[in-house]
Copies of this chain bind each other. A is one copy, B any other.
Amino acid sequence: MRIFVNDVAVRDGFQIEKTLIPTATKIAMVDALSETGLAKIEVASYVNPKLVPNMADGDEVLAGIQRKPGVLYTAIALNLKGVERAVAAKARADEINVVMSASETHNRANANRTHAQSLSDFAEVVKIAKPVGMLVNGAISTSFGCPFEGRISEEVVIGFVGKYLELGFDGVSLADTTGMANPRQVASLAGRVVKTFPGAEITLHFHNTRSMGLANVMAGIDAGVMHYDGSVAGLGGCPFAPGATGNICTEDMVNMLHDQGFETGVDLDKLIACANQIEQIVGHAVPGQVMKAGKTLELRPIPARLTQEDFAKA
C-alpha cells in the first residue's frame, strides 16, 4: 500500500524559530528534501512578514529552488491577499494551501477572519489561482480540537470539507493544530470524511504535542487516508506549550511505515541526512528519534566478550 508523505518543516517548522534563517539555507534544505522522494514540500507562507519574519522570503525561496519533477512545491496563505501575492510571484508555488480553522475563535485568533470571511475569500482564491495553473488545497485547522473551544463537532468539520470541495479545491487537509487528536477520534472523523467524500484527496496533518502523533497516523491509515504531513527532525512547536514538540517527525513516520511494509517512495537514509542538518540550522535540540536511535533494523555488533570461546561453550 502506498502512503504519500509531505514535509512542512521549512514552513511549519522554521516559522516559529526566533533566529532568522537565511534564504540560501532554506533553498538548500528544500533542494535536499527534493532528493528524498517526498510527495509535497511546503516551502513558503504568504502571511504577514511583520508577524512571521522567517516567512518574509517566500518568493525568493520559490525562485531559488531546483524543482524536481514529481514533487509538488506548496505555499500557505490565510486570506485572499496572501493568495494574491502567491499568484503574483514570478516563480509560483505548484499549490496554494489556504487555511481556515474549524473553530471560529481560533480562526479569528489565527487569521483575523470569521468563517464567513474565510469562505468568501476562498471562493475568490479558486478564481485567481486555478486559471494560472495552481492547485488549491484547503486545510481545516483545529479539526480535532481547539485550545480555546475544545472539541469541534464532526459535523462542523465534515461540513467544511464539503464546502471546500464544492468550491473546487483539489484536496483537503484535516489539521490537528495543537496536538489534541487521539486515535479513536481520528478513526471516527477521518473514516466519516473518507466515506462521505469518496475519491477526494484527504491529507492528515498531525502534531505530536502529546505524543499521540504516530498513533494517529496509524488510525488514519486504517480509516483509508493516504496522505500525511510531517516535519523533518520533528521541527516545529506549539505556541501554547513551551517545550512541547510540534509536527510529527517525517523520518520517524517513514521509518514506522517502512517497518510495516508500506511503500512511501522515500529514501529514509537521505531523509535522516536532512534531519541531521536541522539541529545546526536552528541551533537547538530537535525531537526526531530515528535520527538519534537509527533505523529500526540497523543492528549493533555483538559484544566481543560474547564471541569468546569459553562463553560460547557455556
Contact = CB atoms under 8 A, between A and B. Distances in A.
Size class of the contact patch on chain A: 35 or more
Interface string A125-169: 000000000000000000001011111000000000000000000
A300 B240 contact: yes
A108 interface: yes
Contacts of A294: 241
State the majority secondary structure of interface residues on A: loop
A314 B109 contact: no
Nearest to A149: B299
Interface in A57-111: 105, 108-109
Contacts of A150: 297, 299
B109 A303 contact: yes
Contacts of A210: 252, 255-256, 289-290, 293, 296
Contacts of A180: 296-297
Contacts of A299: 147-150
Given A214-B214, A215-B214, A105 B306 contact: yes
Contacts of A219: 218
A289 B208 contact: yes
A123 B117 CA distance: 73
Contacts of A311: 108
Contacts of A36: none
A48 to B, nearest CB: 15
Contacts of A261: 184
Interface centre among A117, A293, A301 (most CB of B within 10 A): A293
Nearest to A147: B300
Interface stretch (A20-28, A189-197, A243-251): A243-251
Interface string A233-244: 000001011111
Contact of A211 (B109, B209, B249, B297): B249
A13 interface: no
16 contacts: A105-B302, A147-B300, A148-B302, A151-B297, A182-B256, A182-B260, A182-B296, A209-B293, A210-B296, A211-B214, A211-B289, A212-B256, A215-B217, A215-B218, A218-B218, A240-B300
